[in-house]
Chain A
Amino acid sequence: MNAEMKEVVLTLMAGRAYVFSLLHKMLGAEPTKTLMDAVSSEESMQAVALFESEDSDAAKKLGNVLLACRGMDEERLDRVREEYTRLFIGPDKLIAAPWESVYTTKERALFQESTLAVRGWYQNYGYELAQAPNYPDDHISPMLHFLALTTERAAACVRDDVLCGYRNMLEGQKLFEQNHILNWVHQYAEDMDKSRTKLLYPQLVRVMADFMAYDQQLVKELLKAAD
């Protein structure tokens, strides 16, 4: 990889890590002013804008959703928090589930085979869920954290010129996305569309699903860059 390519690749990897981390946080915690300001900051806009291309409007749409988080007043933030609670926590039945197992078993159950498979992925790379065993591993948020962490490691490989490590990591990410994210997140987005309110999260899940689909193309391109 020549120096210019390296810089582009590192930029893209930084961008991916940033977006994964952003989505990990947005889908993994109640919204706070700090988070809303951070995801709609200039850095966030720049990171997302990196991925604008003719092949996909995923990045553009993600950018729009994030922009809508800018300048949220207390009252709106409160309602957004209500929407998060209703869609991610409960206490009533959830109309959409941020866990893979619900979509792979159709029994509205957590802690199933997919949980073990995803746990296996984390373990193979040296990670574990911080609050295992009381929480399922196959929540979309830690999965995105996994992608963020492994992106950073892959980038480190590039910096250190360990291209086989870089390639392995990207292949791993591609496979993980196919087997444990893209197999359910579009259905998840469909279910989110049934939400009574559409302040942030139904749109966010939709653009996340589209971005993850686009990421498959990105990874292909990034792999080619190491040829």
Chain B
Amino acid sequence: MALIQNLLDTMISRRSFLKGSAAAIGTASFALSAAAVAESNELKAAAEETIPAAAEPIVGEDGGKWVAAACPHNCGGKCLVKAYIKDGVILRQKTDDFNTDDDINRQQRSCLRGMSQQYQARGLDRLKYPMKRKNWTPGNPNGHLRGQDEWERITWDEAAQYIADEIKRINETYGDNAILCAGAGTDVLNKMNINYLSAWKTGSWGGWFAPAMLGWGDGCNYYDCNNDRLDMLNCEYVVAFGYNPAWSSLGNATNYAKTWKENGTKFILFDPIYTDTAAVLDAQWVPIRPGTDMAAMLAMAYVMLEEDKDGSLIDWDFLNRCCVGFDSEHMPADAKDAQNFFGYVKGEYDGTPKTPEWASEICGMPAETLREVARILGKNNKVALLSSWASARNYNTEQLPQLVIALGAMGGHIGQSGHTVGPTAWNHTNNFGPRLIKAGSGGSTGAVGGTGSSTSVSETQQWDAVLGKPFNPTTLWTMLNGNGPDYWKDAIGGYDLTKRIENITANVKMIWNGSTSRLTNSEGSKKGIEAHRAVEFVVGQGHFLTATNKYSDIVLPITTHWERDNAGYIWEGYYNRDILLISDKVIEPYFEAVSDAEASIKIGEKLGLTADMWGTVPAKQRLFNAVATTTVIKEDGQTWENLVSITEEDIKEWGVEGQPQEGRISIKKYMEDGLYRVDRKVGDNFGFIHKKAFRDDPEANPIGTNSGKIEFYCQTYADAINSHGFSEVEYHGLPKYQPIAQGYESTFENGDIKGAKSAYPLQCMNPHYQRRAHSIFDNIPWLQEACTNPLFISKIDAMERGIQDGDTVKITSAYGEGLRHACVSVRMMPGVVGLPHGKWNRVDEKTGIDHGGSENYVTGEVATGMGINGYNSLNVQVSKYEGDPIPADCEIPQTILF
């Protein structure tokens, strides 16, 4: 009672505090009351004031419900996530636990990233309010301080006003192409009819970016470029390049392959790494240097030619009927010269027969291995010849797809059961064929007005473009990717393929990173940072202060998909064929975050864009429309029915307009489950043999090439690269081997592989990494702990450099330097290091070294060939770092290194 006793004793002197009436307790009479506090931190009366007995409220789990939440990320998987929500709080998560699970039909179980989704959606470090750099004002940008400045909070109104004013000012002052914009924001510029600069990339596809000319794929994707997964049970061998679904396509892809393996299929995997996939599938590992896959393929074609005896290896019937360009008797009409594929392979034109010995020196595996695999590729084996996109994410590998198809065609592995040739990647890895369940359409948004246009720049030149240097403005490649398989035949006429396209320059004054991770996912980000600092205004928007957003002048907080009224399917086209995921809003928006679309509306308002321009149909209606028009294939494999049945009651509950309908499951069940799966069984009607009709009758069923047949010699593709590409080296219609930029040969001085090594003697590739979906999830604590993102280095290379496992090492290229901990592993091919893709940078401004180890901080802008983003092509040196060891990623205090 010490204090009270004291006060009783000295009551008179303390009385002054009360300032009069004992009733006037509280702060109303004091200066303190004049000070405002953020409303978000205030309590208000909600009910009758009560004074209950003191008790800790029990937060039990009753009173909540499981809500389908779908993992929305672009990861190569796509799985079911469910969140248990009580009073708007996610108490726990789970995944698919209700579907059956066996060798054929598997639950769509979420990976470690989907399981972390609530920590993204509810992360402490989410962007909460619009913010502005302290030292940026219009007209006085202080661009050099981007990435190392203090910030202040601003209102949405202020943010929208700044952005609108800058757009107007910059457009009026500098005209076209003054704004480099990607993602959100392009909608605003389009509606304003402002011509902006838009960067395109071959991105994930690499050399598989322009499939239409080769007659494979739908013009953008490759869902149906192989036989379905149950037919593949008939494959005796899978020979695959750069194939690592265990890291790159989480979900069921590896499970499907495991089923083939357990059924007797043998896997032969060409890869610089002995991957987890190879381990799970008990594969024969064929080590191969990044960017040299074409040499290996040519050598195997050589062996097949050399050893074929009257069709013991080569399917001459298939070649003669279905292919052109392989020999002198089957040349396509548009071939510029008389060279044919077999002649090239035999060395008739360049004096270099493409023998296994020749390839072995380049690729790094024993010549005898190439012979063995070549024999396996013979026509009498049931072979799946697969390639992920990774081996074509190398410079100058434009014609790798052409060569994969040609090599597979030699063995006749196209158009018949148990044989298949094609790319395998992303959401359709190991699960091919037309969709068994089709997402419906949300219908019109009701949006009107604004057409807008953009000028193209390749991501291999975008920083140069921002810095005022000349760049190639071609739109040819984006025309070829993203339209249907036959679209190109008419559209190509709009391009002059006879001469090199002329470069242009642009006067870029603003960069708008509309929820895009440009400075993580584009090559040459060291120059990219320089470019960001050179312009007058930079806007970033997204969930966190990412490696890209931190170089902004204004950042806008954006909601995750879980916080939005969904207007349809998320990534509706990009699921594996058996399933369709659906979800609605899960939780309320975080602080002041809004969706990208809402941010655009706010900015548009300041530019005079009216509400009707953005569409008037509510999101709920569009979601309903999409679900109602979703169809699922019937058992006959031919006809379709509605997925969901809808009653009048449902329509009332949704609060939308619509008609009742019959369907397979109730709309209620679909929304609760969050997923529908078409079950398969061996012998069902959902099988698919890729190019079967073509094989049976190529005249009646031509493929999408110029000739209608498989083109070992594809003239148009070469013409396109030579006229609308970036190379000095001329491409030929045949898929010829060339040493790639930043490949194996360039690790030697003068490119002589028998000579001395150069200053950058190692090859660096960027494997996809389980911690992230590209750059997303990089900052989630338990993922950082589970996956530490080291530099993978072979034991030999480490020993030569005195590097031990766990040491901090410096990766140096001609373009930048980065730091990581070393993971010394015999699973890495000597001469090759692995720097995982998607890591956020963390640049030490004093030294220019990136402590984050972002792969694209050390890659460079190399514009060659058709403009492939050669993420896996890089020459580096690795050394033990002389400075202080870097902490583990889970221990770094802040994204910005001060």
Q: Judging by beta carbons under 8 Å apart, are A107 and B781 in contact?
A: yes
Digitize B764-795: 1 where CB-to-A-CB distance is under 8 Å, 0 elsewhere.
Answer: 00000000000000010110000000000000
Q: Judging by beta carbons under 8 Å apart, are B25 and A172 in contact?
A: no
Closest to B52 in A: A124
In Å, the complex CA distance between A115 and B224 comes to 48
Q: Does chain A have a CB within 8 A of B157? A: no
From residue A29, how far is it (CB to closest CB) to chain B in Å?
A: 4
Q: Judging by beta carbons under 8 Å apart, are B545 and A92 in contact?
A: yes
Q: Chain B residues near A123: list those with CB within 8 A.
A: 46-47, 57
Q: Chain B residues near A165: list those with CB within 8 A.
A: 51
Q: Does chain A have a CB within 8 A of B98? A: no
Q: Chain B residues near A53: list those with CB within 8 A.
A: 2-3, 6
How many residues on the A side are at the interface (Cβ–Cβ under 8 A)? 106
Q: Does chain A have a CB within 8 A of B555? A: yes
Digitize A23-44: 1 where CB-to-B-CB distance is under 8 Å, 0 elsewhere.
Answer: 0110111101011011101011
Q: A12-B4, A117-B56, A117-B57 are in contact. Are A90 and B35 (CB under 8 A)?
A: no
Q: Judging by beta carbons under 8 Å apart, are A128 and B43 in contact?
A: yes
Q: Judging by beta carbons under 8 Å apart, are A44 and B32 in contact?
A: yes
Q: Does chain B have a CB within 8 A of A60? A: no
From residue B591, how far is it (CB to closest CB) to chain A in Å?
A: 6
Q: Does chain B have a CB within 8 A of A194? A: yes
Q: Chain A residues near B22: list those with CB within 8 A.
A: 7, 10, 159
Q: A10-B25, A126-B47, A126-B48 are in contact. Are A175 and B18 (CB under 8 A)?
A: no
In Å, the complex CA distance between A99 and B40 comes to 13
Q: Judging by beta carbons under 8 Å apart, are A102 and B124 in contact?
A: yes
Contact of A117 among B26, B54, B59, B124 (CB under 8 A): B59
From residue A190, how far is it (CB to closest CB) to chain B in Å?
A: 13
Q: Chain A residues near B3: list those with CB within 8 A.
A: 12, 51, 53, 55, 218, 221
Digitize B6-22: 1 where CB-to-A-CB distance is under 8 Å, 0 elsewhere.
Answer: 11100100111111001
In Å, the complex CA distance between A97 and B122 comes to 14
How many residues on the B side are at the interface (Cβ–Cβ under 8 A)? 88
In Å, the complex CA distance between A91 and B593 comes to 13
From residue B783, how far is it (CB to closest CB) to chain A in Å?
A: 10
* Most chain A CB inside 10 Å of its own CB: which residue of B7, B16, B32, B893: B32
Closest to A154 in B: B51
Q: Chain A residues near B1: list those with CB within 8 A.
A: 221, 224-225
In Å, the complex CA distance between A196 and B569 comes to 45
Q: Chain A residues near B126: list those with CB within 8 A.
A: 110
From residue B90, how far is it (CB to closest CB) to chain A in Å?
A: 7
* Most chain B CB inside 10 Å of its own CB: which residue of A91, A92, A99, A221: A91
Contact of B90 among A111, A117, A134 (CB under 8 A): A111
Q: Judging by beta carbons under 8 Å apart, are B54 and A174 in contact?
A: yes
Contact of A168 among B35, B51, B56, B151 (CB under 8 A): B51
In Å, the complex CA distance between A153 and B550 comes to 46
In Å, the complex CA distance between A8 and B1 comes to 12
* Most chain A CB inside 10 Å of its own CB: which residue of B16, B125, B895: B125
Q: Judging by beta carbons under 8 Å apart, are B38 and A10 in contact?
A: no
Q: A11-B14, A111-B90 are in contact. Are A92 and B895 (CB under 8 A)?
A: yes
Contact of A89 among B131, B588, B779 (CB under 8 A): B131
Q: Judging by beta carbons under 8 Å apart, are B87 and A14 in contact?
A: no
* Most chain A CB inside 10 Å of its own CB: which residue of B3, B4, B41: B41
Q: Does chain B have a CB within 8 A of A122? A: yes
Q: Does chain A have a CB within 8 A of B361? A: no
Contact of A28 among B26, B41, B590 (CB under 8 A): B41
Q: Judging by beta carbons under 8 Å apart, are A119 and B32 in contact?
A: no
Q: Judging by beta carbons under 8 Å apart, are B2 and A175 in contact?
A: no
Contact of B125 among A30, A38, A90, A106 (CB under 8 A): A90
In Å, the complex CA distance between A7 and B22 comes to 8
Q: Judging by beta carbons under 8 Å apart, are A81 and B152 in contact?
A: yes
Contact of A85 among B36, B37, B55, B151 (CB under 8 A): B151
Q: A28-B41, A141-B41 are in contact. Are A14 and B25 (CB under 8 A)?
A: yes
From residue B728, how far is it (CB to closest CB) to chain A in Å?
A: 44
Q: Does chain A have a CB within 8 A of B23? A: yes
Q: Judging by beta carbons under 8 Å apart, are B55 and A175 in contact?
A: yes
Q: Does chain B have a CB within 8 A of A50? A: yes
Q: Chain B residues near A196: list those with CB within 8 A.
A: 898
Interface of B is mostly: loop
Q: Judging by beta carbons under 8 Å apart, are A25 and B32 in contact?
A: yes
Contact of A15 among B17, B57, B549 (CB under 8 A): B17
Contact of A135 among B11, B40, B54, B555 (CB under 8 A): B40
Q: Judging by beta carbons under 8 Å apart, are A130 and B31 in contact?
A: no
Q: Judging by beta carbons under 8 Å apart, are B131 and A133 in contact?
A: no
Q: A21-B32, A171-B54 are in contact. Are A152 and B41 (CB under 8 A)?
A: no
Contact of B36 among A10, A11, A29, A141 (CB under 8 A): A29
Q: A10-B18, A168-B54 are in contact. Are A38 and B32 (CB under 8 A)?
A: yes
Q: Chain A residues near B91: list those with CB within 8 A.
A: 113
Q: Does chain A have a CB within 8 A of B310? A: no
Q: Does chain B have a CB within 8 A of A212? A: no
Q: Judging by beta carbons under 8 Å apart, are A126 and B45 in contact?
A: yes
Q: Judging by beta carbons under 8 Å apart, are B25 and A90 in contact?
A: no
Q: A29-B36, A82-B150 are in contact. Are A14 and B18 (CB under 8 A)?
A: yes
From residue A144, how far is it (CB to closest CB) to chain B in Å?
A: 9
Digitize A146-168: 1 where CB-to-B-CB distance is under 8 Å, 0 elsewhere.
Answer: 10110011011101000001001
From residue B582, how far is it (CB to closest CB) to chain A in Å?
A: 24
Contact of A111 among B41, B88, B153, B550 (CB under 8 A): B88
Q: A11-B7, A12-B4, A159-B22 are in contact. Are A30 and B893 (CB under 8 A)?
A: no
Q: Judging by beta carbons under 8 Å apart, are B781 and A85 in contact?
A: no
Q: Judging by beta carbons under 8 Å apart, are A153 and B86 in contact?
A: no
Q: Judging by beta carbons under 8 Å apart, are A142 and B42 in contact?
A: yes
Q: Judging by beta carbons under 8 Å apart, are B896 and A92 in contact?
A: yes
Digitize A1-23: 1 where CB-to-B-CB distance is under 8 Å, 0 elsewhere.
Answer: 00011011111111101100110
Q: Does chain A have a CB within 8 A of B503? A: no
Q: Chain B residues near A152: list those with CB within 8 A.
A: 25-26
Q: Chain B residues near A4: list those with CB within 8 A.
A: 8, 11
Q: Does chain B have a CB within 8 A of A108? A: yes
From residue B69, how far is it (CB to closest CB) to chain A in Å?
A: 14
In Å, the complex CA distance between A99 and B152 comes to 21
Q: Does chain A have a CB within 8 A of B128? A: yes
In Å, the complex CA distance between A112 and B499 comes to 62
Q: Judging by beta carbons under 8 Å apart, are B57 and A124 in contact?
A: yes
Contact of A7 among B11, B41, B129 (CB under 8 A): B11
Q: Chain B residues near A8: list those with CB within 8 A.
A: 4, 7-8, 11, 14
In Å, the complex CA distance between A99 and B123 comes to 12
Q: Judging by beta carbons under 8 Å apart, are A85 and B18 in contact?
A: no
In Å, the complex CA distance between A123 and B224 comes to 56
Q: Judging by beta carbons under 8 Å apart, are B4 and A93 in contact?
A: no
From residue B782, how far is it (CB to closest CB) to chain A in Å?
A: 7
Q: Judging by beta carbons under 8 Å apart, are B30 and A43 in contact?
A: yes
From residue B786, how far is it (CB to closest CB) to chain A in Å?
A: 13
Closest to A102 in B: B124
From residue A155, how far is it (CB to closest CB) to chain B in Å?
A: 5
Q: A13-B25, A43-B31 are in contact. Are A32 and B36 (CB under 8 A)?
A: yes
Q: Judging by beta carbons under 8 Å apart, are A149 and B43 in contact?
A: yes
Q: Which 6 A-B pairs have the closest CB atoms?
A: A120-B57, A28-B41, A171-B54, A128-B46, A141-B41, A35-B35
Known: A91-B555, A111-B90. 19 other contacts (CB 8 A): A4-B11, A11-B15, A25-B36, A28-B41, A29-B38, A82-B152, A89-B128, A89-B151, A92-B894, A93-B893, A108-B124, A117-B56, A117-B59, A134-B589, A142-B42, A152-B26, A168-B53, A172-B54, A174-B54
**What would be 16 A-B contacts, judged by CB atoms less than 8 Å apart?**
A4-B11, A7-B15, A12-B4, A34-B31, A39-B35, A92-B894, A107-B782, A113-B59, A117-B59, A120-B57, A126-B46, A130-B44, A133-B588, A134-B588, A175-B54, A196-B898
B residues engaging A (CB < 8 A)?
1-4, 6-8, 11, 14-19, 22-23, 25-27, 30-32, 34-59, 86-91, 118-119, 122-129, 131, 134, 150-153, 545, 549-550, 555, 587-592, 779, 781-782, 893-896, 898
